[in-house]
Chain A
Amino acid sequence: MALILNEEQQMLKTSAKEFLKERAPVEALRKLRDERSETGFDRQMWNEMAEMGWACLTISESYGGLDFGYVGLGQILEETGRTLTASPLISNVLLGTTAINLAASNTQKEALLPIIAEGKMLVTLALDESTRHNPIQINTTASKEGDSYVLNGKKVMVLDGHVTDKFVVAAKTENGVSLFLVDAKSDGISIQRVIMMDSRNSATVQFENVKISASSLLGEEGQGAATIEKILDIARIGLSAEMVGSMTEAFERTVAYLKERKQFGVPIGSFQALQHRAAQMFCEIELCKSLVLKSLQAIDANEENLPILASMTKAKVSETLQLVSNEGVQMFGGIGMTDDEEIGFFLKRARVAQQTFGDANYHIDRFAKLSGY
């Protein structure tokens, strides 16, 4: 398949860019932060996003979605990466919706997807339990009691967990790992909001004897592990698209500053020491763009090598975003250290996004394993 966007995808990207520039520039994130917003994102803006169809791009038409695909969603995510827009796109669209798409029964889909498609229900994934991303390490249990299950355990880094309507919870059952759809208001759930370095939100969620009905099981009992990997691979690629947006924006801002700032009577961008570092970043960013587009296409085409592509992409994009965000602050000099200058917001988002769904080290190791060494 040609590694270019088709006309519709290009149009979606352009309209996303215009909307975000207007409605959710970096100042908007600063405002949410400074006002200590309850939700951590702008609900009204999310409604507008949903009206434009952003909540339902990956939901099939039979459940009220647009069935537009992940290449399209990736373009929106890339644009939100440029503006550092906080929204439920990662938690709800990449994780929650994907989980339901992949694992839910038709009945469950009929009940959930049309509401999710309208942006009126938020679903997120409650998976990690350790200090670093480690989806195999699950101690949360779901023990069967008659017709229902009882959940016990603690989840960390549950994205937007403080405002979600439902959790997709990964828990150990008798014969493996299973996924459950759990109402956030259920008895026995306590949610601790965590404001992160990038001013976005996650939550630590405690499940204490939470009683859930058997009908909330997503997919077959004990068959959750493969689904989790697939959800994560899709999310890793989607997040990488956002990260490419952030690195492109941070880089463009840095290059603009190199042309504008003068020292020794000349623009600092005329110094070769800075030129070469900028040129090297340009090259790395080009590689990242290619990986992301290739991987997004692979999701839509349901390609078998998705795990390897996802790890390649998340590894390379994480390392490059680290480089570009560091160089951004360095090349802005003293002003780069101030809260007033926005380049620092990119640094903070970078580090959180790097850790999310596995950092470069995690994925380099996984890539090697998947390649047979």
Chain B
Amino acid sequence: MTTTTEMPTPIETFRMEVRNWLEANCPTSMRQPIKSEKDLYWGGRNGTFANEDQKAWFEAMYEKGWIVPHWPKEYGGGGLGKEENKIVLQEMARLGCRKPITSFGIWMLGPALLKFGSEEQKRHYLPEITAGKIRWCQGYSEPNAGSDLASLATSAVDMGDHYVVNGQKVWTSYADNADWIFCLVRTNKEAKHGGISFLLIDMATQGVSTSPIKLISGKSPFCETFFDNVKVPKENLVGELNRGWTIAKYLLTHEREMIGGIGETDVKKPLHQVAIESLGTENGTLNDPILRPDIARWSIDKMAYDITIKRTMDEVKAGQSLGAASSFFKYYGTELNKAKYELMLAMGGYNGAAWEGEEFNYGQLARQFCRTKGNSIEGGTSEVQLNIVAKRILGLPSK
């Protein structure tokens, strides 16, 4: 440890540079909390910016290379090291900067390509993702393959110079707005896990169609996706034939960490602040004596959960592996989020019950509440995560 601090360390200098750059380049409107879907920019062939600020912010970040700061430069990233990447994210969080783009390409497909893709695939697909040119969706689940994902049936048949894909995916989030889909397909009927491959498919190809499904939240963010004799070039296979399950598992781990809130940088109002504002206090005590301990318990759990994420990350840095812990985080983080909205609804009273009307913010709270119920289903249900913790961490036997 140095005792004299006249000279800032390179990392401190970097932090100051980042801070100054963000201050100068992030429009004020892009530092406000996300209010609705419109505030998110998704990119893609048909992607449009909601306003000038959103566009300016995306373009500034893109030119700086900070759409994905830690991806290598040759793949469209910023080439930053882990520590520097963290600083960019921390400083963005500190200022409350919105993500310049919301993208399944960045947080799902990207990591898989970086680990399993060929050099050509990385050079082709990754820069398209950071430039916001191509919007991706995830084609895993099928009507008869949910929790038991490996029983999927959508087939890809080898026709010499290409595959022909037939089948149906379901719950495909944003498929109707996506340009490409990364799919798990069956390439061998004889082996369950060992007969699955990971295929990239352009959704503009003849034979691909989608149909939106309406959610309990009133929105239709996900679809059924159909494949009817779809021709897919062979070079679109990622990794080896029949080894797609390994990639799928890797990606699911990643997805769980994200859904579980690891690496989450959003700054949100603490729950008790919401409580104080909506219920009021008397002599420093919340006006609802029954909700009060529930809110305190939830807040303690939330902080304990965040500290646990930090502890786990510190352990990973010290050389231990995360492994099945991502299932614990997925389970706990999503259950916490659901519990939060139950409390928000209880505090909101009749306001939380409204579905329409300007004075009720168009039922925003009720709709968000409904949406949180999906947290413990998407990316593998809570029950499935508990199965994984029981078997992989605790070593409990199968029947």
Contacts and interface: CB of A to CB of B under 8 A. Distances in A.
A45 to B, nearest CB: 32
A33 interface: no
B300 interface: yes
A3 B300 contact: no
B301 A287 contact: yes
Interface in B254-288: 272, 275-276, 281, 284-286
A270, A287, A293, A369 — which one has the most chain B CB atoms within 10 A of its CB?
A287
Contacts of A371: 272, 296, 299
Interface in A59-91: none
Contact of B304 (A255, A279, A291): A291
B285 A255 contact: no
Contacts of B317: 2
Contacts, number: 128
A372 B389 contact: no
A282 B328 contact: yes
Interface stretch (A170-178, A183-191, A229-237, A359-367): A359-367
Contact of A3 (B293, B297, B307, B386): B307
A175 B308 CA distance: 44
B284 A270 contact: no
A367 B294 CA distance: 12
A369 B318 CA distance: 37
Contact of A258 (B293, B387, B396, B398): B396
B295 A373 contact: yes
Contact of B386 (A267, A279, A364): A279
A369 B102 CA distance: 39
B284 A372 contact: yes
7 contacts: A4-B315, A278-B394, A287-B304, A287-B305, A294-B307, A371-B272, A372-B272
Nearest to A373: B286
Contacts of B385: 279
Contacts of B293: 361, 364-365, 368
Interface string B284-327: 11100000110111011101110110110011011000000000
B300 A367 contact: yes
B311 A367 contact: no
Interface string B379-399: 000010111011101111111
B394 A279 contact: yes
Contacts of A3: 307, 310-311, 314-315
A4, A270, A368 — which one has the most chain B CB atoms within 10 A of its CB?
A368
A275 B318 contact: no
Contacts of B303: 312
Given A4-B311, A259-B395, A259-B396, A373 B284 contact: yes
Interface in A276-305: 276, 278-280, 282-283, 286-291, 293-294
Interface of B: 272, 275-276, 281, 284-286, 292-293, 295-297, 299-301, 303-305, 307-308, 310-311, 314-315, 317-318, 328, 331-332, 383, 385-387, 389-391, 393-399
A3 B304 CA distance: 13
Contacts of B391: 275
Contacts of B275: 373
Contacts of A259: 395-397
Contacts of B297: 315, 364
Contacts of B393: 279, 282
A44 interface: no
B333 to A, nearest CB: 10
B300 A315 contact: yes
A258 B396 CA distance: 8
What 8 A-B pairs come out closest when comparing CB atoms?
A275-B390, A3-B311, A279-B389, A287-B304, A290-B308, A279-B386, A269-B396, A368-B296
Nearest to B331: A283
A316 B272 CA distance: 18
Interface string A264-277: 00110110101110
Nearest to A295: B307
Given A290-B308, A312-B303, A368 B295 contact: yes
A290 B308 CA distance: 5
Given A270-B396, A290-B307, A283 B390 contact: no
Given A287-B307, A364-B296, 8 more contacts: A2-B317, A274-B396, A275-B390, A278-B390, A282-B328, A287-B332, A290-B311, A369-B284
Interface in A316-332: 316
Given A278-B394, A280-B386, A364-B300, A373 B276 contact: yes
B311 A293 contact: yes
Interface in A1-26: 2-4
A324 to B, nearest CB: 13
B286 A368 contact: yes
A258 B397 CA distance: 9
A255 B389 CA distance: 12
A43 B236 CA distance: 73
Contacts of A288: 304
Nearest to B285: A373
Contact of B328 (A258, A267, A274, A286): A286
Contacts of B276: 372-373
Given A4-B318, A364-B296, A282 B307 contact: no
Contact of B396 (A275, A283, A369): A275
B314 A2 contact: yes
Contacts of A369: 284-285
A276 B386 contact: yes
Nearest to B279: A373
B292 A373 contact: yes
Contacts of A373: 272, 275-276, 281, 284-286, 292, 295-296
